[in-house]
Amino acid sequence: MSKSEIQAKSLRRVSGIADVLEGQLGRPRPPRKKSPPLDSLIATLLSQNTNDRNSYRAWLNLKEQFPSWERVHESRWQTVAKAIEVGGLKNQKAQRIKLILRTILQERGSFALDFLRAMSDEQAMEYLLAMKGVGSKTAACVLVFSLGRDVFPVDTHIHRICNRLALVKTKSADETFEAMKPLLPSGRGYSFHVNLIHFGRQTCRSMNPLCGQCVLFDDCSYPLRHRNQAKTPAIMRRKRETDFLITEKIATGNSKRRNHSDR
């Protein structure tokens, strides 16, 4: 089988898996209201190494205490750290936020990333990845949730599932992001990303996955799936209301508190 035939087969398989997940979880649609790119960047940075509930609380605290990104930039990093403490790694994240704001101001003269809209996906990714603390998942989330690009961000859940399904054989989320690029059917980036995250949180968990509830059981290569299947009932659990994505939450404006803009 030629390389092109192998890739075509992989594309069909990924498309089929996306279809199954959409049949089970629905086809998520991107919010009509897009959050400013700088908002998405900071919110995704806050979500690193914590859950979305705590990172969203950190985001709300940050917005409540600082009326603009200029005020964040002017404040001591220790003050910013105290505001985002609930999200974990407060010192590291506060210093990175300050560095990002300083870099954007020095390069662009304002606290805005709207210029990314005129860039190609590759150019926008390159610009964002040059910032300290911004990896492929964070950069790709900005492209998807703020710029509406057909990109496939990879977090730890997606990295785990793609390897269990033998779509890739990688050691990190960044490697999975690169390996999945040629395998993603056009127009499926957002839906596949969102559904795999929910699927990873609810069913294909890191520890003790609920294989008896898995709609992708026959596609899976996880070595303990048959043992786990016998332990779990074959009933798909409903999505909990608390199972949300911070990048969606800030776009839909579900908070009564004042929203940031890029400026």
Yes or no: say if 46 and 59 are a contact pair by the CB < 8 Å rule: yes
Q: Encoding tokens for residue 233?
A: 């009932």
Which class for 203: exposed (0-12), middle (13-18), buried (19 or more C-beta within 10 A)?
Answer: buried
Contacts of 155 (CB under 8 A, 6+ apart): 137, 173, 197
Catalytic site includes residue 137: yes
CA distance 75 to 78: 8
Q: How many alpha carbons fall within 13 Å on the CB side of residue 53?
A: 4
Residue 157 Cα distances to 161, 163, 168, 193, 241, angstroms = 6, 10, 14, 10, 19
Q: Encoding tokens for residue 225?
A: 């799936």
> In angstroms, how far is the first alpha carbon of the chain from the final one?
53
| Block residue for tokens 């914590």 | 50
CA distance 140 to 75: 28
| Sign (positive or negative) of CA dihedral 175, 169, 229, 233 | positive
What does the CA dihedral 237, 185, 48, 198 come to, rounded to 10 degrees? -10
Q: Encoding tokens for residue 65?
A: 């205490």
Selecting among 63, 90, 98, 137, the annotated active-site residue is: 137
- Where in the sequence numbering do the catalytic residues fall? 137
